[in-house]
Structure 1
Amino acid sequence: MISLSISNNVAEVVLDAPDKLNSLDEQALADLAQAYDDAAAAASRGEVRALLLRGEGRAFCAGRDISNVSPESDDAAAYLGGLVQPLLRKMSSFPAPTFAAAQGACLGVGLGLLLATDVVYVADNAKFGSPFAKLGATLDSGGHWYFTERLGMHRTLDLIYTAELMTGAEAVARGMFSRALPAEQLLETTRGIVANVAVGATGAFNASKDLVAHIRDQRLGLWEAMEEENAEQARLCKTEDYAEGFKAFQEKRAPQFKG
């Protein structure tokens, strides 16, 4: 079950099937994609300026729900290429800052959901890796790219060959995610940060989001990246939030951004 709630400019998307560790079948993926579409539509109306993704129970998401999948008839290409990849693209391009709070198992497509999110805070009891050696399958949802990029070839293949899992602390120390927190503090801390971002300069945040993605995907050098920064700043300086930020600084008060 997937739920979406919107309050105080924050969209909260919840994976709510704790009895099966929030694993995702085809219907759940479609429902998750619809939740992001609905949140994006609200963002276009100025009603959403940040999004939080989380999972109920002791796991964030254990990956694909294979409880009723027959290996003889399974169409992995349709599941991954037809459902998972379009969803991850949708998540990556969401028109506002996105955050995730992840605890317990974060595997397979569940890991992919995190990798498609802007900022990820993990519990110290979270588990990441590639358990697929036990299934005769391989890491998916962009895992090879992200692991190689952030962990290097040797650690990536070590995790794939052995099916051993990293803790949340190791994942953060190796640059996979942003912060590791005690499990009991994870959701409250993340919600507090998301609430602050939701009253920030959304347009400027989105500009940085696009810049970071372009630098990553196009492998821009320093001076190319600087040129793009200059262009974004020139565009932002004509916005109401830019003017408000400068005035607030000069008047020694907190800015009131409209996003």
Structure 2
Amino acid sequence: MLDVSNSAERPYADGKILRRVTDGVGIITFNNPEKRNAMSLEMWEGLGHALVELRDNSDVRVVILVGAGDKAFVSGADISQFEKTRHNAEASEEYSRRSEAQRALLATYPKPTIACIRGFCLGGGMQVAMLADIRFASDNSQFGIPAAKLGIAYGYDGLRNLVSLVGPSWARLIMYTGMRLDSTEAVRIGLVDRVLPDAELWDATMEIARTISGNAPLAIQAAKITIAQVLKDESHRDMDAIKAIGTACMDSEDFREGRTAFMEKRKPRFKGR
């Protein structure tokens, strides 16, 4: 098991992905500021390694995704790699296959995830942000998917997530034009959940992360599983999974601890079992 509360920063992808743990909160940093945190294939794979380590650390109850510096969350894919990795349909399919595992990992992540967005959040950065459970943004953020300006097709999963957040009409406008949205527009249409002054963004994100970390992990897992099933077509919903996690909650030590703490008028100490 990984170190408990406060760990040193661990690098992946030649230091362009960083992972650390602070007071039970896992933090993954996209650390490519000279390219506005543009994502290379190696960074996608490093992201996957960091996510797996935080997933398997029982002391981590929530994960924050954040970009290094003040210019960008993730400004998109590293276009300088395109001639090598995405120069035609076959190469692009291989690129997608190698990065798909990391996107799938984030899409089905068992712990709550928060995207802390400052500056540019474009293209592949939007894909990462939309896969997070919660999105907080600074008031100087910009959002967009410039696929139409690059002549590439944005993937099905990314567009499904975009439509689920902003609806089909806004998804069409964003995709057809490649337009940029400021944070005011992004929060108005539901692309992000909260906009804060830039200087307050990190503290507000950490406050929410610590609040989540202090709540009962099984109850949060139940909410995450159930919401995911609600979003599926009725014919594909796993009602047995919802029932199983509900039973696990009711039979857990945490449920007994929650009741006891309430009666004793103290803060509960949840263990996730």
* TM-score under structure 2 length normalisation: 0.85
Distance, in Å, in 2 between the alignment partners of 1:37 and 1:225 is 24
Structure 1 residue corresponding to 2:43, chosen from 22, 28, 41:
28
Of the three residues 245, 254, 258, the one matched with 1:241 is 254
Q: CA deviation at 1:230?
A: 6.1
Distance in 2 between the 1:255 and 1:85 partners? 39
Pairwise CA RMSD: 2.3
The one-character-per-residue Cα deviations of 1:221-244 (angstroms, maximum 9, x if unpaired) are: xxx999976664333111011111
Partner of 1:191: 206
- Distance in 2 (CA, whole Å) between partners of 1:12 and 1:150 is 24
Match of 1:134 among 149, 156, 163: 149
Question: Secondary structure at the residue paired with 1:67?
Answer: helix
Count residues in correspondence.
253
TM-score between the two structures when normalised by the length of structure 1:
0.89
Query: 2:60 & 2:144 partners in 1: Cα distance?
Result: 32
Distance, in Å, in 1 between the alignment partners of 2:156 and 2:38 is 14
Which of 45, 51, 60 matches 1:48?
60
Identity of aligned residues (%): 29
In structure 2, the residue matched to 1:257 is: 270
Q: Determine if contact 2:130/2:162 at 8 Å carries over to the other structure.
A: no
Contact 2:126 2:143 in 1 (8 A): yes
1:116 aligned to which of 127, 131, 135: 131
Deviations 1:152-205 (A, max 9, x none): 332222222221112222222212222111122111110121122112211110
Q: Report what 1:177 is aligned to.
A: 192
Establish whether residue 76 from structure 1 lines up as the match of residue 76 from structure 2: no
Provide the residue aligned with 2:77 in structure 1.
Answer: 64
- The 1:126/1:78 distance shift into structure 2, 3 A limit, reads same
Matches of 2:192 and 2:60, distance apart in 1: 24
- Give the aligned partner of residue 5 of structure 2: none
Residues 219 and 176 (structure 1), Cα distance of their counterparts in 2 relative to 1, 3 Å cut: farther
Q: Distance in 2 between matches of 1:240 and 1:88?
A: 33
How many angstroms does 1:72 deviate by?
4.0
1:154 matched to which residue of 2? 169
Task: Find the aligned partners of 1:77 and 1:229 in 2 and give their Cα distance.
Answer: 35
Partner of 2:8: none
Q: Structure 2: which 5+ runs fail to align? A: 1-15
- Quick one: structure 1 residues 41 and 226, their matched pair in 2 at CA, closer, same or farther if it must change by over 3 Å? closer
Partner-residue secondary structure (3-state), 2:19: strand
| 2:26 and 2:63 in contact (8 A); partners too | yes
Which one-letter code corresponds to 1:191 in the other structure? M
Match of 2:233 among 190, 205, 218: 218
Query: What letter corresponds to residue 161 of structure 2 in structure 1?
Result: Y
Q: Are 1:108 and 1:141, in contact at CA under 8 Å, matched by a contact in 2?
A: no
1:199 maps to a residue whose letter is G
Distance 1:72 1:17, change over 3 A: closer
The unaligned stretches of length 5 or more in structure 1 are none
